[in-house]
Amino acid sequence: MTAYALEWLNLLLRWFHFVAGISWIGTSLYFVWLDNHLTAPENTADKAHGVSGELWSVHGGGFYHNQKYLTGPVGESLPVALHWFKWEAYWTWISGIGLLAIIYWVGASNYLIDRTVLNITPAEAIAISIASLIVGWVVYDALCKLLARWPLALGVCVYAFLVLAAWGLFHVFGARAAYILIGAIIGTIMAANVAYVIIPGQKKMVDAIRAGRIPDPLPGQLGKIRSVHNTYFTLPVLFIMISSHYPMTYENPYGWLILAGISLSGVLVRYAFILSHKGKLVPALPIAAFLILAAIAVAIMPRGAGATKHVAFEQVQPIFAQRCAVCHSPRPTQPGFTAAPAGVLLDTPQHIASNAQRIYQQTVASAAMPLGNVTGMTKGERMQIAGWIASGAPLK
Same structural domain, 53 and 145: no
For residue 322, the enclosing domain spans 313-390
pLDDT of residue 114: 86
The mean per-residue pLDDT over the stretch 320-347 comes to: 82
Which region among 31-35, 204-208, 212-216, 297-301 has the lowest average model confidence (pLDDT)?
212-216
The mean per-residue pLDDT over the stretch 199-210 comes to: 90
Q: Identify residue 137 by its one-letter amino acid code.
A: W
pLDDT at 173 over 90: yes
Spatial distance between the Cα atoms of 141 and 136, rounded to a whole number of angstroms: 9
pLDDT at 126 over 60: yes
Spatial distance between the Cα atoms of 368 and 246, rounded to a whole number of angstroms: 9
- Residue 308: which pLDDT band, with cuts at 50, 70 and 90? low
Higher pLDDT, 393 or 25: 25
Shortest CA distance to 323 belongs to which of 291, 281, 364? 364
Spatial distance between the Cα atoms of 212 and 321, rounded to a whole number of angstroms: 75
Is residue 289 situated within a structural domain?
Answer: no
Same structural domain, 131 and 149: yes
Spatial distance between the Cα atoms of 325 and 334, rounded to a whole number of angstroms: 9
- Give 177-200 as a 3 state SS string: HHHHHHHHHHHHHHHHHHHHHHHH
pLDDT at 375 over 70: yes
* Helix, strand or coil, per DSSP, at residue 135: helix
Higher pLDDT, 304 or 86: 86
Same structural domain, 222 and 324: no
Same structural domain, 120 and 144: yes
Is residue 204 situated within a structural domain?
Answer: yes
Of the CA atoms within 13 Å of residue 34, those in its CB half-sphere come to: 18
- Residue 235: which pLDDT band, with cuts at 50, 70 and 90? very high
Same structural domain, 236 and 324: no
Distance of CA 68 to the CA centre of its chain: 31
Same structural domain, 44 and 27: no
Same structural domain, 98 and 154: yes
The last residue of one of the domains, among 69, 91, 124, is 69
Which region among 32-46, 186-200, 333-347, 377-391 has the lowest average model confidence (pLDDT)?
333-347
Shortest CA distance to 375 belongs to which of 340, 329, 336, 325? 325
Spatial distance between the Cα atoms of 30 and 66, rounded to a whole number of angstroms: 12
Spatial distance between the Cα atoms of 325 and 320, rounded to a whole number of angstroms: 6
Higher pLDDT, 257 or 48: 257
Is residue 308 situated within a structural domain?
Answer: no
The mean per-residue pLDDT over the stretch 338-364 comes to: 81
The mean per-residue pLDDT over the stretch 121-150 comes to: 96
Same structural domain, 56 and 109: no
pLDDT of residue 307: 47
Q: What is the pLDDT of residues 239-252, one digit of tens each?
A: 999 998 888 898 88
Is residue 189 situated within a structural domain?
Answer: yes
- Residue 303: which pLDDT band, with cuts at 50, 70 and 90? low
Q: Where are the beta strands (DSSP E) in the chain?
A: 51-59, 62-69
- Residue 393: which pLDDT band, with cuts at 50, 70 and 90? confident
Is residue 288 situated within a structural domain?
Answer: no
Same structural domain, 125 and 168: yes
pLDDT at 379 over 90: no
Is residue 146 situated within a structural domain?
Answer: yes
CA angle 25, 27, 31 (to 5 degrees): 120
Which region among 96-100, 175-179, 339-343 has the lowest average model confidence (pLDDT)?
339-343
pLDDT at 49 over 90: no
> Is residue 149 a contact partner of residue 97, using CB atoms and an 8 Å limit?
no
Same structural domain, 51 and 120: no
* Helix, strand or coil, per DSSP, at residue 316: helix
Same structural domain, 51 and 158: no
Is residue 306 situated within a structural domain?
Answer: no
Q: What is the pLDDT of residues 54-88, one digit of tens each?
A: 999 999 889 999 999 888 888 777 888 888 999 99
- In the chain, the percentage of residues whose pLDDT exceeds 90 is 48
The last residue of one of the domains, among 254, 272, 299, is 299
pLDDT at 371 over 70: yes
pLDDT of residue 181: 97
- Residue 333: which pLDDT band, with cuts at 50, 70 and 90? confident
Spatial distance between the Cα atoms of 160 and 156, rounded to a whole number of angstroms: 6
Is residue 337 situated within a structural domain?
Answer: yes
Total number of domains in the chain: 3
pLDDT at 15 over 90: yes
pLDDT at 304 over 60: no
The last residue of one of the domains, among 15, 46, 69, is 69
Mean per-residue pLDDT of the chain: 88
Same structural domain, 28 and 48: no
| Greatest CA separation for the chain | 87
- Residue 120: which pLDDT band, with cuts at 50, 70 and 90? very high
pLDDT of residue 366: 67
- Residue 355: which pLDDT band, with cuts at 50, 70 and 90? confident
For residue 200, cis peptide bond before it (omega within 30 degrees of 0): no
Spatial distance between the Cα atoms of 2 and 150, rounded to a whole number of angstroms: 52
pLDDT at 37 over 50: yes
